[in-house]
């Protein structure tokens, strides 16, 4: 008889947690692993659904953050157009200025290019208009030198022709603040080491302001040169010991005067904007004051007279330019016009000389130039402005002038104009930034032909927060500005309109903005203030002592304007009422805390004690309104975008926690059913073993009976 047996093949496997499982013990034919995975997969369906939701919201978060970036760019774009108040007016594109320079001469000569004479930069504080300057002299640095030294490296005694190591002592260098620094000179010092000592003293918090350098004309001609770092200021040296200044050839009188002056310190001198000094006249600069006037100015009349007049009377001055010098002319004037308070002098002007006439009583001096001598000498009473530096920033508000070269008789006209192109660029930037946001919104809300959600729509389709922000922006774009005339109350007045639906080819361009450039250019050229009013927050008042500090989105237009009543006692503001309602008073700052002007801050300059009544009006331009919408949407923690992101992130966090808990339960479930299958396999295996044993016994019995 044949013998059958049951296969005892089995399979070992290890799960993710390292637990050992055995299958195939019973040869049941059941794929235990597949069965377990199928049961687990069925239980995992709710988790998969939650993970899909998390993935969807993650896409919404990413999309909303992209919109947040677009909104930030938009806020930046409208910031310069909204009329932001800053001390230096730097916050407004409407205050940006351009400067155009042009030179001219009245004597028929050829004027140098303005760029060769000056450079000028302007801030937003510069005032629109035409200014003029004439550079009479540029500022120079004081420079003095030692005598010639035979060597840079030999000791100073030897270098200056004396005994070796014979030069020792000290001297002080006094800076512009009056602080003195002592320079000690030892017998072993060389020209180079002395240079280094002086330069080392020009460091730290008490710098001397003097720099030393060496000029080598030849092997035995070496000069130590001292230069004042500042222009227009002399070098101050004193408190000499050991006679070092004299030995070095710097000064024979301890620093009171210098033996080898290379360049005198000069201030910059300018005639400005046609301003006159009624009590002072001066001539052009001439090579010297001792040569005959005719030799200096060939066109000067040979003989004649001119008349000087003051409040004390008039005096005629006769001249002969073939023999008279400027000094002679000054002496003649002093001899004859002193009685009427006129004083003449010769001014040393950087290697040249000027004739100066003054009314010593400070009254009005008149010059009647009968025969043209004064004209030939360039004598006028232009007000002369002096500065110690060639960088002048306090002459015209908001302008810095760098002086390069003097050219007497050349007038430099400075034309300050509004930067219309800068405003135009800012308007284009605002429109482009708005269109980027609108195209994003349109992409998120794409619909199919039947009006249902398109498969190309973004993850924020139908999002209410996005819809609200878009609606607020659109309302400001499409609305009229309260308080403005009908001609310039809407963006269409400057050529900004919605893209026509009739010509729309791309659905993403729906309700984007377009610009008629020619209309915008015309508005900026001819109606600049109207353009500014349309876009910016504007404040106007009838009181010069009242000015705007800041405003808020809650500060609104009021028909007929606002009435302000300020009471001052003892030079201090004691109360302020806006339309009868108390304002918050803090020093000179008045703040509206309620009503239609809420958030408005004003500066009031107190005058005489008493009560002052003022009126003012405000308008909120389109850019100002749009900035407020963007600012509220972007507000940290409380803004629309932050709130929506918080909702999304809270939701996904809760789902992820739920998924984590469900995953834990699923792992336990898998462990339980795997154990059950294992026990089943073990039971079946035992039964198979018993069955195999019984069959063996039966087979044995059958074999015995056959025998």
Given a cut of 70, is residue 8 above it in pLDDT? no
Q: How confident is the model at residue 346 (pLDDT cuts 50, 70, 90)?
A: very high
Residues 6+ apart with CB under 8 A from 154: 190
The per-residue b/e assignment along 213-251, b for 16 or more CB within 10 angstroms, e otherwise, is ebeeeeeeebbbbbbbebbbbebbbeebebebbbbbbbb
> CB-based burial of residue 433 (10 Å sphere; 0-12 exposed, 13-18 middle, 19+ buried)?
buried
Tell me what pLDDT residue 316 has.
97
> CB-based burial of residue 529 (10 Å sphere; 0-12 exposed, 13-18 middle, 19+ buried)?
exposed
**Rounded CA Rg of the chain:** 46
Given a cut of 90, is residue 692 above it in pLDDT? no
> CB-based burial of residue 501 (10 Å sphere; 0-12 exposed, 13-18 middle, 19+ buried)?
exposed
Q: How confident is the model at residue 443 (pLDDT cuts 50, 70, 90)?
A: very high
Q: How many CA atoms lie within 13 A of 593 on its CB side?
A: 10
CA angle 232, 234, 237 (to 5 degrees): 160
Given a cut of 50, is residue 628 above it in pLDDT? yes
Task: Quick: pLDDT tens for 463-511.
Answer: 999 999 999 999 999 999 999 999 999 999 999 999 988 888 899 999 9
Task: Quick: pLDDT tens for 560-579.
Answer: 999 999 999 999 999 999 99
Given a cut of 50, is residue 357 above it in pLDDT? yes
Task: Quick: pLDDT tens for 585-625.
Answer: 999 999 999 999 999 999 999 999 999 999 999 999 999 99
Tell me what pLDDT residue 659 has.
78
Q: How confident is the model at residue 533 (pLDDT cuts 50, 70, 90)?
A: very high
Least confident of 84-98, 377-391, 615-629: 84-98
Share of the chain above pLDDT 90, in %: 78
Average pLDDT in the chain: 91
Q: List, in sequence order, every residue forming a beta bridge with 343; answer none if it has no partner.
A: 358
> Which tokens sit at 106?
């009245």
Tell me what pLDDT residue 431 has.
98
> Which tokens sit at 553?
């989105």
Dihedral sign computed on CA atoms, order 296, 299, 305, 309: negative
Q: List, in sequence order, every residue forming a beta bridge with 274; answer none if it has no partner.
A: none
Tell me what pLDDT residue 693 has.
81
Size (the chain), residues: 707
CA angle 674, 678, 679 (to 5 degrees): 120
Least confident of 13-22, 191-200, 311-320: 13-22
Q: List, in sequence order, every residue forming a beta bridge with 281; answer none if it has no partner.
A: 357
Given a cut of 50, is residue 37 above it in pLDDT? yes
Tell me what pLDDT residue 706 has.
64
Tell me what pLDDT residue 29 has.
58
Task: Quick: pLDDT tens for 256-288.
Answer: 999 999 999 999 999 999 999 999 999 999 999
The per-residue b/e assignment along 555-587, b for 16 or more CB within 10 angstroms, e otherwise, is bbbbeebbebebbbeeeebeebbbeeeebebee
Q: What is the pTM for the complete model shown?
A: 0.77
> In whole angstroms, what separates CA 510 from the centre of its chain?
36
> Which tokens sit at 565?
């009543």
Tell me what pLDDT residue 158 has.
97
Given a cut of 80, is residue 19 above it in pLDDT? no
Q: How confident is the model at residue 27 (pLDDT cuts 50, 70, 90)?
A: low
Given a cut of 80, is residue 688 above it in pLDDT? no
Q: What are all long-range contacts of 344-353, with beta carbons under 8 Å and residues at least 24 apart?
A: 346/289, 347/282, 349/137, 349/266, 349/269, 349/285, 350/137, 350/140, 350/264, 350/266, 350/285, 352/285, 352/286, 352/287, 352/288, 353/285, 353/286, 353/287, 353/288, 353/289, 353/326
Q: How confident is the model at residue 2 (pLDDT cuts 50, 70, 90)?
A: very low
Tell me what pLDDT residue 18 has.
44
Tell me what pLDDT residue 28 has.
55
Mean pLDDT value of segment 423-439: 97
Query: Residue written as tokens 């000067």?
Result: 300
The per-residue b/e assignment along 95-125, b for 16 or more CB within 10 angstroms, e otherwise, is bbbebeeebeeeeeeebeebeebbebebbbb
> Which tokens sit at 587?
């020093």
Q: List, in sequence order, every residue forming a beta bridge with 145; answer none if it has no partner.
A: 225
Given a cut of 60, is residue 687 above it in pLDDT? yes
Distance CA 248, CA 197 (A): 15
Distance CA 289, CA 293 (A): 8
Share of the chain above pLDDT 70, in %: 95
Residues 6+ apart with CB under 8 A from 245: 171, 237, 251, 252, 254, 255
Q: Which candidate, 447, 475, 477, places its Cα nearest to that of 462?
A: 447
Least confident of 85-89, 315-319, 536-540: 85-89
Task: Please provide the DSSP assignment of 102-149 as one string.
Answer: EEEESSSPPPPPHHHHEEEEE-TTPPSEEEEEEEEE--BEEEEE---B
Tell me what pLDDT residue 567 has.
97
Tell me what pLDDT residue 505 has.
87
Tell me what pLDDT residue 660 has.
82
Q: Which candidate, 296, 292, 346, places its Cα nearest to that of 321?
A: 292
Q: Which candidate, 685, 680, 679, places its Cα nearest to that of 6?
A: 685
Mean pLDDT value of segment 191-213: 96
Task: Quick: pLDDT tens for 451-464.
Answer: 899 999 999 999 99
């Amino acid at each position: 008889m044949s013998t059958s047996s049951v296969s005892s093949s089995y399979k070992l496997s290890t799960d993710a947690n390292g637990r050992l499982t055995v299958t195939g013990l019973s040869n049941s034919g059941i794929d235990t692993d597949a069965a377990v995975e199928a049961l687990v997969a069925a239980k995992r369906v709710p988790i998969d659904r939650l993970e899909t939701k998390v993935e969807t919201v993650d896409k919404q978060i990413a999309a909303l953050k992209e919109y947040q970036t677009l909104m930030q760019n938009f806020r930046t774009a409208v910031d310069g157009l909204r009329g932001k108040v800053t001390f230096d007016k730097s916050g407004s594109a409407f205050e940006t200025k351009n400067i155009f320079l042009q030179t001219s001469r009245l004597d028929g000569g050829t004027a140098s290019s303005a760029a060769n004479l000056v450079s000028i930069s302007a801030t937003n504080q510069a005032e629109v208009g035409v200014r003029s300057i004439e550079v009479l002299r540029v500022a120079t640095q004081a420079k003095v030198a030692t005598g010639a030294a035979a060597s840079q490296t030999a000791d100073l005694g030897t270098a200056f022709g004396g005994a070796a190591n014979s030069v020792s002592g000290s001297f002080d260098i006094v800076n512009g603040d009056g602080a003195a620094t002592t320079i000690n000179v030892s017998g072993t010092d060389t020209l180079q080491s002395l240079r280094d000592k002086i330069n080392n003293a020009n460091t730290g918090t008490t710098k001397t302001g003097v720099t030393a350098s060496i000029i080598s004309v030849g092997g035995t001609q070496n000069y130590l040169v001292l230069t004042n770092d500042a222009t227009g200021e002399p070098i101050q040296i004193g408190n000499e010991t050991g006679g070092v200044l004299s030995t070095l050839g710097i000064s024979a009188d301890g620093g009171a005067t210098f033996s080898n002056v290379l360049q005198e310190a000069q201030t910059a001198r300018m005639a400005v904007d046609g301003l006159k000094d009624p009590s002072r006249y001066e001539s052009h600069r001439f090579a010297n004051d001792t040569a005959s006037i005719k030799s200096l100015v060939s066109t000067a009349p040979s003989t004649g007279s001119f008349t000087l007049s003051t409040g004390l009377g008039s005096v005629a001055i006769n001249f002969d330019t073939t023999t008279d010098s400027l000094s002679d002319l000054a002496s003649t004037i002093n001899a004859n016009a002193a009685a009427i308070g006129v004083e003449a002098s010769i001014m040393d002007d950087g290697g040249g000389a000027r004739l100066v006439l003054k009314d010593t009583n400070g009254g009005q001096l008149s010059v009647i130039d009968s025969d043209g001598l004064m004209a030939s000498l360039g004598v006028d009473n232009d007000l002369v402005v002096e500065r110690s530096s060639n960088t002048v920033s306090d002459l015209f508000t908001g302008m810095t002038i760098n002086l390069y070269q003097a050219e007497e008789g050349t007038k430099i006209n400075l034309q300050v104009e509004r930067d219309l192109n800068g405003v135009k660029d800012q308007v284009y930037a605002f429109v482009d930034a708005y269109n980027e946001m609108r195209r994003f919104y349109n992409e998120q809300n794409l619909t199919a032909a039947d009006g249902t959600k398109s498969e190309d729509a973004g993850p924020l389709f139908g999002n209410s927060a996005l819809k609200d922000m878009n609606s607020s922006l659109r309302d400001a774009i499409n609305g009229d500005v309260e308080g403005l005339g009908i001609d310039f109350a809407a963006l269409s007045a400057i050529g900004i309109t919605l893209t026509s639906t009739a010509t729309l080819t791309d659905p993403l361009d729906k309700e984007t903005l377009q610009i008629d450039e020619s209309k915008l250019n015309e508005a900026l050229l001819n109606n600049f203030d109207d353009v500014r009013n349309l876009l910016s927050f504007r404040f106007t008042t009838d009181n010069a002592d009242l000015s705007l500090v800041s405003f808020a989105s809650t500060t609104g237009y009021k028909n007929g304007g606002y009435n302000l009543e300020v009471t001052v006692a003892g030079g201090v503001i004691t109360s302020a009422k806006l339309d009868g309602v108390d304002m918050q008073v803090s020093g000179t700052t008045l703040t509206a805390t309620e009503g239609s002007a809420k958030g408005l801050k004003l500066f009031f300059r107190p005058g005489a004690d008493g009560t002052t009544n003022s009126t003012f009006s405000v308008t909120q331009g389109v850019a100002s309104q749009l900035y407020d919408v963007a600012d509220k949407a972007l507000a940290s923690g409380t803004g629309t975008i932050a709130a929506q992101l918080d909702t999304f992130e809270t939701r996904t966090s809760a789902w992820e926690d739920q998924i984590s808990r469900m995953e834990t339960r699923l792992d336990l479930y898998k462990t339980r059913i795997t154990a059950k299958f294992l026990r089943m396999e073990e039971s079946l295996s035992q039964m198979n073993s018993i069955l195999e044993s019984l069959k063996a016994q039966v087979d044995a019995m059958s074999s015995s009976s056959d025998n």
